[in-house]
Amino acid sequence: MPNVPLGNAMTNLNITPASIAAQIRLILQDGGSAQHAAGVQWFFKEEIKSHGWYTGDLRRAARSFQREIKNQHALDFLIEVADQLFSSDVLEEKIVAVLMLETLAAKLDDGAFTRFDSWLEGVVSWSDHDALVHYLIAPMVAAKPTRAKVVFRWAKSKNRWRRRAACVALIRGARAKMFFPEITKLSDSLLCDEDDIVRKGLGWLLRETAKYDAKRTVPYLMKIRDHAPRLVLRTACETLPTAIKARILQTPRLKRIPT
C-alpha cells in the first residue's frame, strides 16, 4: 500500500474541500496499479475509468483520509470533500467518497440523506451504486425508518440506478426484520421491471429478507413464484433450505383444460 497522508495540503491556510479533494485525487492517481486498472473493466458492462486500486488498500486509504480531515475540520467539511470526490467519473474517487463516510452513517442528518439522493444521478456502475446505497443510504434508512418512503419514488424513476437503489436501500433494515410491508409492496411494483440490474437488486433484497425472516418471506415467494422473473426468484431462494427452495422454484403445472 502506498503512503497516503495528505501532508501539507492539511496545513495550507487556504484549505477548502475542493483543494483537499484535488490532493486525494493526486494520491489515488499516483498510488494505483496500471495493470490492475486494465483488468478492472472485465467486471463491468459499462465503460469504467479506474486508477487500479485494490479494495483493501482503498479502504485503508479512505480511513487515513478521514482521520486527517476530521482531526482539523467538522463533519460538514468532510461531507463536502466527499461530495467533490463523488462527482468524479473515476471509480476509486467515488468509492473513497463513500468509504470516508461509512463509519459515520449513524451521525448523518436528513441534509446528508438528500445529498446522497442527488449522488445517485452520478452513478456509473453497480460498484459505486452499491457502495453508496449499501454503505451509506441503507444504514441511514434503517436508523430512521421514515426515510424508507423514498424508495417508492425511486422505484418509479426512469433511472435504472434509482430503481436498484429502491431495493438495496432496504437491505440493512431487512436484516433486522424491518420493512416487510414496504419490501413486499416494492417487490410487487418491480417484478415487471425488465432491467437485469434492477432484477438483481430485487433478488438481493428478497434473499436477505428470506434469510432473516423466512417465516413471512417464504409464503410471499410462493405467492409470486408464478409470475416473478426466474432471476429474482432464484436469487431470493439462495439461503433457504433445499426442500423449501425446490418447492418455490418448482415449475407450476399447467391446469388441465376441461373437455
pLDDT in tens, 222-255: 999 999 999 999 999 999 999 999 999 997 544 4
Identity of the residue numbered 134: H
| pLDDT tens digits, one per residue of 42-94 | 676 677 788 888 889 999 999 999 999 999 999 999 999 999 999 999 999 99
Residue 183 scores a pLDDT above 80: yes
**Cβ pair 134, 98 in contact under 8 A:** no
Rama region for 7: left / alpha / beta (φ>0; ψ in -120 to 50; rest): left
Strand ranges (DSSP E) for the chain? Answer: none
Residues spanned by CATH 1.25.10.90 within the chain? 112-259
Residue 40: what residue type? V
Stated as kind and residue range, the H or E segment containing 129 is helix 126-132
Half-sphere exposure of 165 (CA within 13 A, CB side): 33
Instruction: Identify how many contiguous H helices and E strands the chain contains and give both numbers.
Output: 16, 0
Which H helix or E strand runs over 31? helix 17-31
Average pLDDT, the chain: 90
Reported as a pLDDT band with limits 50, 70 and 90, residue 13 is: low
Distance CA 193, CA 39 (A): 31
How far is the C-alpha of 223 from the C-alpha of 30, rounded, in Å? 53
C-alpha–C-alpha distance, residues 50 and 41, integer Å: 8
**CB–CB of 65/3 below 8 Å?**
no
Evaluate whether 119 touches 132 at the Cβ level (below 8 Å). yes
Could you give the angle at the alpha carbon of 148 between the alpha carbons of 97 and 201, nearest 5°? 65
- pLDDT at residue 181, rounded to an integer: 98
The answer to whether residue 8 scores a pLDDT higher than 50 is yes
Task: Flag whether pLDDT at 153 surpasses 60.
Answer: yes
Pick the CATH number of 112-259 from 1.25.10.90, 3.40.30.10, 3.40.50.620, 3.40.50.300: 1.25.10.90
pTM of this structure: 0.89
Contact 204, 168 (CB under 8 A): yes
In the chain, the N- to C-terminal Cα span, in Å, equals 74
CA distance 161 to 154: 9
* 35's grid cell: 495493470
More confident residue, 39 or 122: 122
Q: Which residues contact 187 (CB under 8 A, 6 or more apart)?
A: 202, 205, 206, 220, 224
